[in-house]
């Protein structure tokens, strides 16, 4: 038996169909080892930045299975993804299982030919690629732990920072500040509706945008008074060339604008398409297409659009840090126009197919027309309109959505008269720059060389998960917390380490490790020495309790004094400058912020005073001696809704009721914690015929099952057999 190891069960299933019984294909289900999160000794810095790896929680069975299969196999092949991450996973599997003679195979598409060809040419694990991935992991850990630990001490517990997520957040914060600093200016747009001799309507717009109403009124008066004519007609024939095939970045951008997918969703859907063998590997900076792929694409174009529409092209990769030895993202079989199991998969595949086919087709030919008109005396600014007409579609036949909206203009010549039907003015204001969308931020990160194709989606998701960024429609807006972390802590104290140039240069250093032209330890030491020195120096800075002064008109609701801006767990708020002597607080918009409210009621458990608090799910009443006393007063009406009417059975007067925990809904006795009877599903009220335990709701095929799980006699099928008897 030969053993082939991949990361994904879906990938293993697809590959098994191609290899038959000679190979046993098994999945590691991603990484099997990692640097421990909590250990201070996770990285041996003096010893040369050597990470201490441990088997990831829950992966013990996977490792044991691979170990058993490897011991019985004649040959072991490591077929993880063809990038640094995949190389690292292959190395971790070999190290954890003790594979001395394991060979590495790599393929960029999951097709029968690609897999069998890769198996014919095995190699050793590329240690340079593996070291580059390890260097990234160690760097991220050193930066994340160092900055996050200091953030907890100096700003607020629970905050975090990262080597690439923080530069991305800085871009969003700087864009928000640019928007706030923007001063709008008034201007007017003047449009004229005109008509030719042949009664053809032409809507023209004034080439100038007046900034005062007096100028507008003068233009309107002259326009209405005088006769109109065509001053000039300019026709220019132009060509539109197709765009390159998709890279990770451009796929994420196109899926965002055309399908409304977030980067993380795009990558998840693309992963499914790749594992099913429909597209090539989806983490790449390359716009290259292989010779075999171009040959197949050429046949598809000739069949669907004609040989005259074929134009084989090569594209230069623009990324500063192009992914090694990859092709662009393309269909594995270009003749297949539709693929995927779900609507999302089908839509994304169609996007990839159209872009790939179009990239090898002839230019589209367009006739661009510009009509310029004015009054006969030309005493006002010229009015104009632009239009275009598609002469030959070329690549737009394959990707029609990429076609610009054509404005068909009538055939007209310079000197022809026009009749003014109506002329209007509309007051407008200049608008601030737009916030970054997810697609826009990905494009900017790629331009600056921040991150890699595999990290763009996680960079955005991490900032959202930390509460630093919110989505408003398609736009990304930094929260109060995100702005404070950047402006009050990272930029003043670690600005060098979250700059564009530093982050991009570090990516280039990692690339050089991957190329074998740079040393692992030297790269990390060159970074960590000044970084550690900076961390130590910043240990002395004062705790940042205030993040700015409140506007003077915002006065303390209790003492009338000055207020300051503070950062709370739910964002920024206004606090009395005399705190803790005065507890006055407001929301940023001026509304009074209510704190915990003492009640004239005693705690039935410890005798302390009860108080009303604000929680994640609204107001609730609890003991003021929390956390020593954890009594929470229940709302009788809400509690009644949760009762099931089923007696506990473990205590005299308890009743099973619905509760919600960290893992979802469960059912327990109403006398908890005195009675700790708990079951996972809703009780039915019936008792088990074998042991007398409560029965709970099961599935459609097994409607009831016993709440006891440990005894083999309580298998739900056996219970059904017992009930039938």
Q: Residues 284, 453: contact at Cβ < 8 Å?
A: yes
Q: What is the pLDDT of residues 245-254, one digit of tens each?
A: 999 999 999 9
Same-domain status, 683 and 610: no
> Is 520 annotated as catalytic?
no
Same-domain status, 33 and 88: yes
Give the DSSP H/E element, type plus range, for residue 503: helix 500-515
Residues 84 and 510: their CA atoms lie apart, in Å, by 11
- Look at residues 499, 547, 571, 572 and name the one whose alpha carbon lies nearest to residue 166: 499
Same-domain status, 500 and 572: no
Same-domain status, 7 and 121: yes
Same-domain status, 257 and 345: yes
**Number of domains making up the chain:** 6
Omega of the bond leading into 580 within 30 degrees of 0 (cis)? yes
Give the residues across from 388 on adjacent strands.
Answer: 368
User: Number of C-alpha atoms within 13 angstroms, CB side, residue 272?
Assistant: 16
Q: What is the pLDDT of residues 568-599, one digit of tens each?
A: 766 778 888 888 788 888 887 788 766 667 78
Omega of the bond leading into 508 within 30 degrees of 0 (cis)? no
Determine the structural domain holding residue 707 and report its residue range: 643-724
Dihedral of alpha carbons 110, 111, 116, 122, sign:
negative
Q: Is residue 638 one of the residues assigned to a domain?
A: no
Residues 321 and 512: their CA atoms lie apart, in Å, by 10
Same-domain status, 291 and 259: yes
Q: What is the pLDDT of residues 380-439, one digit of tens each?
A: 999 999 998 889 999 999 998 888 767 788 989 999 999 999 999 999 999 999 999 999
Q: Residues 320, 449: contact at Cβ < 8 Å?
A: yes
Looking at 538, 556, 581, which one is the last position of a domain? Answer: 538
User: Number of C-alpha atoms within 13 angstroms, CB side, residue 226?
Assistant: 16
Grade residue 47 by pLDDT with cuts at 50, 70 and 90.
very high
Query: Residues 145-177, buried b or exposed e (16+ Cβ, 10 A)?
Result: bbbeebbeebbbeebbbbbbbbbbbbbbbebbe
pLDDT reported for residue 725: 46
Q: Residues 402, 351: contact at Cβ < 8 Å?
A: no
Q: Is residue 131 one of the residues assigned to a domain?
A: no
Give the residues across from 29 on adjacent strands.
Answer: none
Same-domain status, 28 and 71: yes
What would the mean pLDDT of 177-183 be, rounded to a whole number? Answer: 94
Q: What is the pLDDT of residues 528-559, one digit of tens each?
A: 999 999 999 998 888 887 788 888 889 998 88
Among residues 281, 349, 468, 528, the one annotated as catalytic is: 281
To the question of pTM greater than 0.85 for the whole model, the response is no
For residue 354, what are the CA distances in angstroms to 221, 335, 337, 587? Answer: 52, 11, 8, 51
- Look at residues 333, 321, 334, 237 and name the one whose alpha carbon lies nearest to residue 284: 321
pLDDT reported for residue 545: 77
Residues 266 and 68: their CA atoms lie apart, in Å, by 36
Q: Is residue 705 one of the residues assigned to a domain?
A: yes
Same-domain status, 672 and 614: no
Grade residue 663 by pLDDT with cuts at 50, 70 and 90.
low
Instruction: Reduce the DSSP state of residue 157 to 3 states and report it.
Output: coil
Same-domain status, 145 and 119: no
The CATH number of the domain holding residue 51 is 3.40.50.140
């Amino acid at each position: 038996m030969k053993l082939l190891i991949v990361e994904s069960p879906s990938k293993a299933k697809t590959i098994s169909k191609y290899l038959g019984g000679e190979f046993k294909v098994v999945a590691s289900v991603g990484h099997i080892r990692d640097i421990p999160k909590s250990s201070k000794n996770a990285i041996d810095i003096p010893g040369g930045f050597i990470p201490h790896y441990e088997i990831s929680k829950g992966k013990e069975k996977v490792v044991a299975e691979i170990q058993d299969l490897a011991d019985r196999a004649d040959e072991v092949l490591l077929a993880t993804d063809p990038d640094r991450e995949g190389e690292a996973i292959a190395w971790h599997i070999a190290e954890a299982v003790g594979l001395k003679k394991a060979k590495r195979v790599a393929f960029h598409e999951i097709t029968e030919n690609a897999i069998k060809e890769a198996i014919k040419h095995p190699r050793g694990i590329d240690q340079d690629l593996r070291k580059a991935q390890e260097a990234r992991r160690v760097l991220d850990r050193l930066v994340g732990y160092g900055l996050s630990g200091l953030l907890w001490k100096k700003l607020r517990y629970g905050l975090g920072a990262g080597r690439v997520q923080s530069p991305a957040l800085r871009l969003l914060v700087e864009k928000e500040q640019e928007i706030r600093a923007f001063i709008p200016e008034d201007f007017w747009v003047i449009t004229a509706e005109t008509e030719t001799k042949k009664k053809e309507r032409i809507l023209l717009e004034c080439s100038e945008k007046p900034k005062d109403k007096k100028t507008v009124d003068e233009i309107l008066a002259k326009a209405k008074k005088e006769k109109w004519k065509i001053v000039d007609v300019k026709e220019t024939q132009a060509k539109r060339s197709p765009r390159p095939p998709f890279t990770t970045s451009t796929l994420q951008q196109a899926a965002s604008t055309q399908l409304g997918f977030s980067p993380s969703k795009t990558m998840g859907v693309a992963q499914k398409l790749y594992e099913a063998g429909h597209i090539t590997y989806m983490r790449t900076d390359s716009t290259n297409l292989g010779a075999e792929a171009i040959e197949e694409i050429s046949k598809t174009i000739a069949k669907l659009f004609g040989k005259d529409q074929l134009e084989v092209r090569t594209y230069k990769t623009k990324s500063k840090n192009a992914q090694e030895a990859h092709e662009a993202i393309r269909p594995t079989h270009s003749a297949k126009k539709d693929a995927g199991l779900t609507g999302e998969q089908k839509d994304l595949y169609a996007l990839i197919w159209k872009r790939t086919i179009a990239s090898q087709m002839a230019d589209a030919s367009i006739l661009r027309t510009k009509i310029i008109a004015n009054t006969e005396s030309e005493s006002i600014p010229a009015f104009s309109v632009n239009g275009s007409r598609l002469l030959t579609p070329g690549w737009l036949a394959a990707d029609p959505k990429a076609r610009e909206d054509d404005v068909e203009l009538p055939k007209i010549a310079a000197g022809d008269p026009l009749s003014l039907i109506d002329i209007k003015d509309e007051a407008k204001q200049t608008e601030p720059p737009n916030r970054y969308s997810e697609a826009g931020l990905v494009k900017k990160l790629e331009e600056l060389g921040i991150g890699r194709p595999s990290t763009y989606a996680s960079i955005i998701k991490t900032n959202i998960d930390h509460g630093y960024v919110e989505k408003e429609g398609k736009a990304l807006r930094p929260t109060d917390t995100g702005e404070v972390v950047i402006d009050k802590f990272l930029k003043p104290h670690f600005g060098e380490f979250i700059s564009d140039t530093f982050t991009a240069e570090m990516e280039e250093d990692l690339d050089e490790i991957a190329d074998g032209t740079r040393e692992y330890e030297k790269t990390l030491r060159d970074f960590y020495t000044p970084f550690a020195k900076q961390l130590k120096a910043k240990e002395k800075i004062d705790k940042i309790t205030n993040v700015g002064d409140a506007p003077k008109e915002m006065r303390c609701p209790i003492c009338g004094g000055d207020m300051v801006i503070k950062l709370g767990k739910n964002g920024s708020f206004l606090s009395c400058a005399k705190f803790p002597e005065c507890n006055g607080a407001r929301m940023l918009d001026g509304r009074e912020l209510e704190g915990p409210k003492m009640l004239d009621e005693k705690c039935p458990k410890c005798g302390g005073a009860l108080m009303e608090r604000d929680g994640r799910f609204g107001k609730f009443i609890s003991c003021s001696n929390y956390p020593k006393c954890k009594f929470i007063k229940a709302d009788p009406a809400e509690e009644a809704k949760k009762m099931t009417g089923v007696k506990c059975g473990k205590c005299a007067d308890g009743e099973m009721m619905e509760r919600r925990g960290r893992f979802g809904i469960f059912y327990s006795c109403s006398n908890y914690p005195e009675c700790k009877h708990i079951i996972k599903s809703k009780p039915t009220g019936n008792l088990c015929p074998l042991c007398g335990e409560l029965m709970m709701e099961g599935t459609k095929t097994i409607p009831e099952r016993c709440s006891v799980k440990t005894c083999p006699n309580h298998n739900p099928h056996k219970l059904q057999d017992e009930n039938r008897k």
